[in-house]
Amino acid sequence: MKNHVKEFRELAGRYTSDLRHRDRIQKALAGYYTRREEHQTRFQDWAGARDLAAETKREAINHLDRYLDEFASKLEARGTKVFWAPGAREAREYIVEVARRHKVRSIIKSKSMTAEEIHLNDALEREGFEVVESDLGEYIVQLRHEPPYHIVFPAMHLTRQQISDLFHEQLGSEFTDDPEDLTMTARRVMRRKYCEADMGVSGANFAIAETGMISITENEGNARLTTSLPKVHVALVGIEKVLPKLSDLALFLPMLATAGAGQPITCYNTLYGGPRQPGEPDGPEEFHVVLLDNRRTELLADAEQRDALHCIRCGACLNACPVFKNIGGHSYGTTYQGPIGSVITPHLRGLQDWKHLSQASSLCGACTETCPVKIDLHHHLLHNRRNAVRRHPAPLEKCLQATFAFVMRRPGLYALAGQLARIAQPLQHLVQGTILDPLRPWTKTRSFPPLAPRSFRQLWRERKRP
């Protein structure tokens, strides 16, 4: 089995010392911050909008059973096939089966983090289907055989130069650093793929219970082509994507665009409610909606952290997170990076294997402050830490913490420990910087302050003495 902590430490170490990476991410996000701030002010009351969004999601999540039933039955009434997938395996098998039944050869896919979560592309390719990502960023990382770097900006870690080299190598295009030329290259490939594809796979940004529709929001128009040209459309939807009413989109679409990309509204916003109906000129002949649980109901059962299911995958918490900005998206080793990933991955993939992500945080709270649906992200990192310790305390740390508590409950012992540390301090100076230095994790990169000659308690006593 993979050692996730070790891998995380190695990658985080590599990325944090890569100053060009740091610079690139800072630059990539600089424009986002300005635009986001600008468009937030276009809301009459951004704080109020956040309250309303959180309230709407709370309602949806707290009555998920009812809303999902409503969503599914409305879809089915228009001839959509709805499949309830308890886990990733069932979802993959169902989608593979649909492809087989239709003797599909080529599949076109629009952006879906849920598909990443269940490793859908791998499963389809293993069965011999060709899968092409139609979102430009996703297409780029697909050509590089790497996972998305960021849930919204999958290729934000790459320079134009790198993308040009990649296209030259794999698609035979001319070298260029003009973004438009690069886009045109991808577009030429993509247009052919849309026409060849027998099946389109998409995710969903929202699932509207009231009308039984999925809402997809995108900037490139690729999702529209992915979902309407091929004769079969499969949409993979996490069960937490539900919104009660169609009118909720009036808040959530601009909010997602603003928080996610610093846009007033995303370019293309489409609702899909079923396959081609009699008399309609276009649209897929078959429409499947796969509703994915994959341990989301376990999170639902945790009253303390249930609000993590409010997430609309806008990526704002990643953009605000100083840890993310330094270690980058690939260090996490998860489908969902950044604070939201650190909060939910332990629930989706096991607390003991992924608790280190909750520990790798200064708990600064920038994520919680920015989250449009008000998920208590940084406090959930604390909750994950507590839950991990409760179930499996690490023996050495447990011992240290017990000693800490023992000393801190005894003021005399605490004062004595302070005095002993003053005696030991010159010894630490002798070994400072070497492997014998107990403070090495600190002193390797930072100076460490000396203990004050006299503690506050001593100074206070001296002051009181007449």
Partner 1 sequence: MKITLFIPCFVDQFYPQVGMSIVQVLERLGHTVDYPEAQTCCGQPAFNAGYWDEARAVAERQMTIFRDAEAVVIASGSCGAMVQVFYPELFRHHPREKEARILAAKTFEFSDFLVTQLGVVDVGARFPGRVTFHDGCHALRELGLKKSPRQLLQHVRGLELVEMKEAETCCGFGGTFAVKFPMISTAMGEVKCASIVETGAEYVISNDSSCLMQIQGVLDRQGKPIKTLHLAEVLART
Contacts with partner 1 in 326-355 (CB under 8 A)? 326-327
The size of the interface with partner 1 (CB under 8 A), counted in residues, is: 63
Q: Tell me the residue length of the chain.
A: 466
Specify the DSSP class assigned to residue 200: E
* Residue 343: closest CA among 364, 294, 351: 351
Q: Does 13 bind partner 1 (CB under 8 A)?
A: yes
Q: Write the DSSP assignment of 123-135 as a string of letters.
A: HHHHTT-EEEE-S
Q: Does 264 bind partner 1 (CB under 8 A)?
A: no
* Cβ partners under 8 Å of residue 178, min gap 6: 160
Which of the ranges 115-123, 132-140, 252-260, 401-409 carries the binding residues for partner 1, by CB under 8 A?
401-409
Q: Does 6 bind partner 1 (CB under 8 A)?
A: no
Question: CA-CA distance, 179 to 160, in Å (whole number)?
Answer: 7
Question: CA-CA distance, 226 to 315, in Å (whole number)?
Answer: 23
Q: How far is the CB of 463 from partner 1 (least distance, A)?
A: 8
Specify the DSSP class assigned to residue 103: T
In the β-sheet with 242-243, what is the strand arrangement from edge to edge? 242-243, 206-208, 213-218, 268-272
Q: How far is the CB of 7 from partner 1 (least distance, A)?
A: 14
Which of the ranges 60-68, 115-123, 273-281, 397-405 carries the binding residues for partner 1, by CB under 8 A?
397-405
Nearer CB in complex with partner 1: 189/389: 389
Of the candidate residues 44, 409, 426, 466, the single one contacting partner 1 (CB under 8 A): 409
Of the candidate residues 128, 322, 350, 433, the single one contacting partner 1 (CB under 8 A): 322
Nearer CB in complex with partner 1: 277/359: 359
Residues in a beta bridge with 202: 235
Q: How far is the CB of 5 from partner 1 (least distance, A)?
A: 11
Q: How far is the CB of 386 from partner 1 (least distance, A)?
A: 4
* Cβ partners under 8 Å of residue 13, min gap 6: none
Q: Residue 57 has which token pair? A: 């999601």
Question: CA-CA distance, 35 to 404, in Å (whole number)?
Answer: 47
Q: Does 362 bind partner 1 (CB under 8 A)?
A: yes
Q: Does 359 bind partner 1 (CB under 8 A)?
A: yes
Question: CA-CA distance, 173 to 181, in Å (whole number)?
Answer: 10
Question: CA-CA distance, 20 to 28, in Å (whole number)?
Answer: 12
Q: Does 451 bind partner 1 (CB under 8 A)?
A: yes
Of the candidate residues 87, 179, 350, 411, the single one contacting partner 1 (CB under 8 A): 411
Question: CA-CA distance, 174 to 168, in Å (whole number)?
Answer: 6
Question: CA-CA distance, 92 to 111, in Å (whole number)?
Answer: 16
Q: How far is the CB of 444 from partner 1 (least distance, A)?
A: 7
Q: How far is the CB of 256 from partner 1 (least distance, A)?
A: 24
Which whole-number Å values give the CA distances from 392 to 3, 27, 86, 299, 346, in the listed order? 17, 41, 28, 20, 14
Question: CA-CA distance, 80 to 287, in Å (whole number)?
Answer: 5
Q: Does 402 bind partner 1 (CB under 8 A)?
A: yes
Q: How far is the CB of 388 from partner 1 (least distance, A)?
A: 6
- Secondary structure element (H or E) that encloses residue 310, with its range: none
Of the candidate residues 246, 414, 431, 432, the single one contacting partner 1 (CB under 8 A): 414
Of the candidate residues 66, 89, 105, 457, the single one contacting partner 1 (CB under 8 A): 457
Of the candidate residues 55, 122, 125, 397, the single one contacting partner 1 (CB under 8 A): 397
- Reading phi first (left if > 0) and then psi (alpha if -120 to 50, else beta), residue 45 is in beta
Contacts with partner 1 in 130-159 (CB under 8 A)? none
Q: How far is the CB of 425 from partner 1 (least distance, A)?
A: 11
* Cβ partners under 8 Å of residue 389, min gap 6: 398
Question: CA-CA distance, 18 to 194, in Å (whole number)?
Answer: 39
Q: How far is the CB of 409 from partner 1 (least distance, A)?
A: 5
Q: Does 392 bind partner 1 (CB under 8 A)?
A: no
Of the candidate residues 352, 386, 420, 436, the single one contacting partner 1 (CB under 8 A): 386
Which of the ranges 48-56, 66-74, 179-187, 398-406 carries the binding residues for partner 1, by CB under 8 A?
398-406
Of the candidate residues 37, 160, 285, 404, the single one contacting partner 1 (CB under 8 A): 404
Q: Does 416 bind partner 1 (CB under 8 A)?
A: no
Q: Residue 87 has which token pair? A: 């886990």
Of the candidate residues 7, 22, 196, 333, the single one contacting partner 1 (CB under 8 A): 22
Q: Residue 250 has which token pair? A: 């009036």
Of the candidate residues 65, 97, 285, 369, the single one contacting partner 1 (CB under 8 A): 369
Contacts with partner 1 in 296-315 (CB under 8 A)? none
* Amino acid, single-letter form, for residue 81: K
* Residues binding partner 1 (CB under 8 A): 9, 12-13, 16-17, 22, 26, 322-323, 325-327, 359-366, 368-369, 382, 385-390, 393, 397-398, 401-402, 404-405, 407-409, 411, 414, 418, 421, 441-442, 444-452, 454-461, 463
